[in-house]
Structure 1
Amino acid sequence: MTEGNDWDVLVVGGGINGAGIARDAAGRGARVMLVEQDDLAQHTSSASTKLIHGGLRYLEYREFGLVRKALKEREVLLSIAPHLIAPLRFVMPHVPELRPAWMIRAGLFLYDHLSRRAVLEGSRGVNLRTHFAGAPLVDSITRGFIYSDAAVDDARLVVLNALDAQERGACIATRTRFVSASRGERAWRIVLQDAHGELREVDARALVNAAGPWVNALATGDAPARAMRLVKGSHIVTKKLFDHDHAYILQNEDRRIVFAIPWQRDYTLIGTTDIDYEGSLADVRDLRIASEEIDYLCAAVNRYFAKPVHARDVIWSYAGVRPLLCDDAADAAAATRDYQLQLDTNGAPLFTVFGGKITTYRRLAQEAVDALAAPLALAAPAWTHAAPLPGGDMPDADFPRFLAGFRERHRYLPAPLAERYARAYGTRADALLEGIGSMDAMGTMLAPDLYEAEAAYLVTHEWARSAEDILWRRSKLGIKASAADIERLDAWIAARESQCDQPDQRDALRNMPATAKPAASAT
């Protein structure tokens, strides 16, 4: 192992794949540093449909291997993060002219049996004239199918992986830009720029490029870039369209599907679009949904729901760019969601991640560290399949039982707030509330449902540096926050940081010696 400010592995990219690799490697004894130019999960990894799923529609493209892999991972993730990942039943209204019933039954049979199910219910047909899920639908739809997948808070999943990595010794440096890297026979010399604009040099025995849409822009050394297909996916949120806890998977005439998912108690999340992205990578950071995409999603919903949805009903929207492997698919929706991993040992190891989806991130990370184990002499075996993520260490992965106990321990919390804390933080919600015995002791309410106690926890433990970090990535409370709330929260964070004398890992580079000039770029 190296000494001083040197690392065994430096990971570029604070999305789900980078955080997962950092966690796995740190748990095997590697000295790990992760750098992210913005906030954790600020881009692709917070712009998903917020599902852990096998990908029912991928069966139509004969991606049986990917679906099996994703279904296996769905079970693993339900067991290691029972607070953050929740079972969800999906209703597929049947439209005979789009896909015949026999085809859907065959697909659901495969979906039920490609991998073992320990928690989730199997699929079945349903009479939508009598089932509660038929109530909000148009009268012409009388039958359908129900199957299971799971919902997740995608950005929090990233944060929990980063948090576990840090607790196993990793340095997580957000708002830290990878500037350049020069490759030696046994190590990389890497130049980083912190949030204050200062340059630092660090050494690493291996470099991992998990930069998502920027993967080829950061291509380093002799490894060739791989052709990627950047696909824009957008979502809209409306007031809730139905009063039950099932989601809908809606077929379109263009063979795509759109989800309508109950979200944050009072809303419905609708998505996604699939459009080839031809814009600049510089514009990915400020990506917005187009009016044509809003119209497309509204039209998809209006084919099925009795009460129509219009653009004026959209409360919030978001968009992201998915870095997909290039294949022969003519349509962006048909492009594979699988991944490819590339290890280059022509000098100090360079590992590059191409593609992937949130459901298979843990498997991807395990394969990545398995590949790096030999060149880095890591002897410890794979471990993340059986280790709960922070907050997930509850008996039998039984969230309802944990929630009941949590409510009993903190009776002063309103029921919705108690459930949100239990879902977001799991067993660590007790640490958040340590020493608090009343709502008055929670401090000022800085934004709807956000009290000082929680905000302080997020700033101290979860790298939150702005109102946006807290309201949209550490939580989704931004959906109810006003401009005044955001201004108040940003001012509170600034005042708190100005009073903090001790640096922490959020400013990890500040304690490293500044470099007089950057090393020569190998990018």
Structure 2
Amino acid sequence: MTESTFDLAVIGGGINGAGIARDAAGRGLSVLLVEQHDLAAHTSSASSKMIHGGLRYLEHYEFGLVRKALQEREVLLAAAPHIIRPLRVVMPHDAGQRPAWLIRLGLFLYDHLARSARLPGSGGVDFRRHPAGAGLRPAFSRGFVYSDAWVQDARLVVLNAVDARERGAHIATRTALIGARRTADAWSLDLRAADGAACSVQARLVVNAAGPWVGTLLGGPLGVAARHTLRLVKGSHIVLPRLFDHDFGYLFQNPDGRVVFALPFEERFTLIGTTDVDYHGDPAQAAISAEEIDYLCGTVNRYLARTVTPAQVVWTFAGVRPLLDDATSNAARVTRDYRLDLDQAGAAVLSVFGGKLTTYRKLAEQAVDHIAPLLGGGAAWTAGVPLPGGDLEDGDPAAFEARLRRERPWLAPPLARRLAGSYGTRALRILDGIDSAAALGAPVVADLYPCELNYLVREEFARTAEDILWRRTRLGLSAPPDAAARLDVWLAGVGVGAVQAAKTV
């Protein structure tokens, strides 16, 4: 790291921290983002992979949050059409659950709280004629359909960090904040990298965007009393071989009042989640329980004709949501809204409590607006600017994929589809200088070629096989058992640390 003094140090490389770093860097502030592990290593890569308004939040009268989220859904669809796609969701009607009139009212509000120019509205469905009815139990003949969006959540975080760096921010992954000293007008922060290297930097202001660790950071290195409380709620998911042959998602209602999604995932799989369980312990160690697996399988089996069992689960993941504690007894009813708290008893620290993936950009904008009077900088700008790779002509990912295949007919169709759908126009950078299948070479593992791996190391902060197989891509689902070990050998051979260090300086 060549600089040692910054306007702003953001602690936490999840979606909120990366979004704040991007916004602030784009306003001309000097920014350092510090993340103790990999970008999106925890909560931000353990979501249900949806950009949505939160239909069920209407039951809790959170109309403002739903409206804000629906507005942001529209902004994000325009900013990242390569990694955020429209999704039609069907909801089989169970007469023993919410009445039809209540669902129709909720969907009417969902359609009208924030108008969408990109997504069709809601409606009724006759499952005897609709493709989504083929996999349902015969008891479910009617239901509803509405629109939301699907997202590659970890890539959303990474692209915000990439854009932040391209606008001048310094991104320090696998770096922990181990100490801090506060004066009237600056923070002195002690950092330690994973290899043991230590350094100290100065920052005029600290943003505490540590997610589940926001309170730990305040009471620990920062030495600041927390004025709000987080409620840690674990959400777990399971992944099974694909359970249906269409591209619709399902929303299933449970007798306990919760809802569970079953979504098409990575072409050959189905993602099912989520649970809401109060969590106590280290958020980094969160894992699904056998009871949660049974709960999710049981929900699916109430609706789908094809029975699923825990033995069919091919992957699980769990994340801890740092929700703003509103004293609600039911974890599923805790608000998903956020609060920004600015402490100015000396050099300022802004702490982020709560939030959700869909509203991260608005949260980041409001956070930087909040601190702008202290630091200066330009006006808000992110609402109309695409994320890296999102500058597709007419915002059409299918047209870009067709162009990629037309201009490079030697690309295997599955590879062209994956590159276009993960990197957008940045796929052209990955393939720069490669003009044939022979020049592409042999894959290192799975569907990963050296050109893509070099790009991920150089441009996207990837350091390990896990970073690549489970966050930059989801190829861990289909890779052979020895893929991670082979990939780590390759990464060691190219000197991943040196490549990243050279890029960071």
Q: TM-score, normalised by structure 2?
A: 0.97
Match of 1:53 in 2: 52
Aligned mates of 2:54, 2:76 — CA distance in 1? 15
* Matched residue SS, 1:303: helix
Structure 1 residues without counterparts, runs of 5 or longer: 509-523
For the residues of structure 2 that align with 1:501 and 1:59, how far apart are their CA atoms?
Answer: 48
Structure 1 contact 93–141 (Cα < 8 Å) conserved = yes
- How far apart are the structure 2 equivalents of 1:489 and 1:80? 32
**AA at the equivalent of 2:57:** Y
Question: Of residues 364, 386, 389 in structure 2, which corresponds to 1:388?
Answer: 386
Paired residues, what number? Answer: 501
Mapped contact 2:458–2:500 kept (Cα < 8 A): no
Partner of 2:416 in structure 1?
418
Whether the 8 Å contact between 1:173 and 1:505 is mirrored in structure 2 is no
Structure 2 Cα separation of the partners of residues 443 and 222 of structure 1: 54
The corresponding residue for 2:66 is: 67
Q: CA deviation at 1:199?
A: 1.7
Shift of 1:376: 0.5
The question of whether the paired residues in 1 share the 8 Å contact of 2:250 and 2:261 is answered with: yes
Note the C-alpha offset of 1:500.
4.7
Q: CA deviation at 1:498?
A: 7.0
Hey, what does 2:245 align to over in structure 1?
243
Amino acid at match of 2:175: T
The DSSP-based 3-state class of the residue aligned with 2:217 is coil
Residue number in structure 1 paired with 2:447: 449
Query: In structure 1, what is the Cα distance between the partners aligned to 2:356 and 2:57?
Result: 13
In structure 1, what is the Cα distance between the partners aligned to 2:171 and 2:62? 35
Aligned to 1:369: 368
1:208-247 to 2 correspondences below 5 Å: 208-219=207-218, 220-247=222-249
Where does 1:232-271 land on structure 2 (aligned, <5 Å)?
232-271=234-273
Match of 1:121 in 2: 120
Measured after TM superposition, the shift of residue 410 of structure 1 is 1.7
Matched residue of 1:255: which SS?
Answer: coil
Q: After superposition, where does 1:34-433 map in structure 2 within 5 Å?
A: 34-219=33-218, 220-278=222-280, 280-281=281-282, 284-378=283-377, 380-433=378-431
CA distance in 2, matches of 1:18, 1:33: 10
Secondary structure of the corresponding residue to residue 303 of structure 2: coil
Structure 2 CA distance, aligned partners of 1:256 and 1:176?
Answer: 38
Residues in 1 aligned to 2:120 and 2:225: alpha-carbon distance in whole angstroms: 45
Structure-2 separation of matches of 1:498 and 1:447: 17
The change in CA–CA distance for 1:113 and 1:222 in structure 2 (over 3 A counts) is same
1:31-83 alpha-carbon deviations (Å, 9 max, x no partner): 00000000000000000000000000000111000000000000000001111
Pick closer, same or farther for the CA change 1:424–1:211 going to 2, 3 Å: same
Q: Distance in 2 between matches of 1:390 and 1:146?
A: 32
| 1:330 Cα offset (Å) | 1.5
Q: Output the TM-score relative to the length of structure 1.
A: 0.94
1:20 lines up with 2:19 in the alignment: yes
The 4+ residue runs of structure 1 with deviation greater than 3 A are 498-503
**In the TM superposition, what whole-angstrom CA distance separates every residue of 1:227-258 from its partner, at most 9, and x where no partner exists?**
11100010000010000010000000000000
Q: Say if 2:11 and 2:208, in contact at 8 Å, map to a contact too.
A: yes
Going from structure 1 to structure 2, the CA distance change for 1:418 and 1:501 (only over 3 Å counts) comes to closer
Q: Residues of 1 paired with 2:469 and 2:501: CA distance?
A: 24
CA apart distance, 1:224: 2.6
Report what 2:436 is aligned to: 438
Post-superposition Cα deviations, 1:307-357, rounded to whole Å, max 9, x if no partner, equal: 100000001110110000111322111111000001112211111000000
Letter in 2 for 1:460: R
